[in-house]
Amino acid sequence: MPSHRSRNLRYLTQHSARTEPHHSPRQRLIRGQLKRTSCRAALVLSLALAICANGATSTQADVITIGDDYGGVLIPRLANLQALKLRGDTVEIRGDICASACTLYLGLPNACIIPQTKFGFHGPSHYGRPLPQADYERLSQVVAAQYPLVLRNWFMTSGRKTLVRMQFISGQTLIGLGLKQCDPPVSS
């Protein structure tokens, strides 16, 4: 009969092959937050799609003006972008600054910008702290996919490298790269 120690060793050997690699408590916390955020995002996106589907036949596309938007949490912003796409809304970015998650509006088909706006870009992080490499790569791809092609390549090679501060690009530069300039505002 095998000893108690050899049974425990055999059990650990058999079951350790099935477990995930060791993650630090911080990595486990971030992974847990990402999983919870993903679940919440699926719910928010489902609700946004349901609302848009209900109103799609009875409402016309609106003009949404974005001004001085410093960003926010990625997942809810992605749900908002999806809703805007489905409704066909025009998004005019007219503020002095559009930073972080706000820059995702640049990829909307009906988006336009003004030359004076400063656009601030940074890579995915947890409030300025680096993510585990796999999460960083995955979220970088998610963010880049929202941008027009001319920005997508720049973001993946340069823009995502900054985590704490931002890299700024003027609206004038982006218009020069082919992004649509907004018409002057109509006076009332």
Partners of residue 64 on adjacent β-strands: 91
Q: Where are the domains of the chain?
A: 25-176
Q: What is the mean pLDDT of residues 52-57?
A: 35
Strands 118-121 and 167-170: antiparallel
Rounded to two decimals, the pTM is: 0.68
Q: Which fold has domain 25-176?
A: 2-enoyl-CoA Hydratase; Chain A, domain 1 (3.90.226)
Tens-digit pLDDT profile for residues 111-123: 999 999 999 999 9
Distance, in Å, from the CA atom of 87 to the CA atom of 102, rounded to the nearest integer, reads 19
What is the structure's pLDDT at 15? Answer: 39
Tens-digit pLDDT profile for residues 140-153: 999 999 999 999 99
User: pLDDT band at residue 128, thresholds of 50, 70 and 90?
Assistant: confident
- Spell out the residues 6+ positions from residue 33 whose beta carbon is closer than 8 angstroms to its own: 126
Tens-digit pLDDT profile for residues 2-40: 554 444 434 333 433 333 445 566 665 665 666 555 545
| pLDDT beyond 90 at 47 | no
- Spell out the residues 6+ positions from residue 47 whose beta carbon is closer than 8 angstroms to its own: none
Distance, in Å, from the CA atom of 90 to the CA atom of 92, rounded to the nearest integer, reads 6
Strands 90-93 and 118-121: unpaired
The alpha carbon dihedral of 178, 102, 113, 163 has a sign of: negative
What is the structure's pLDDT at 45? Answer: 46
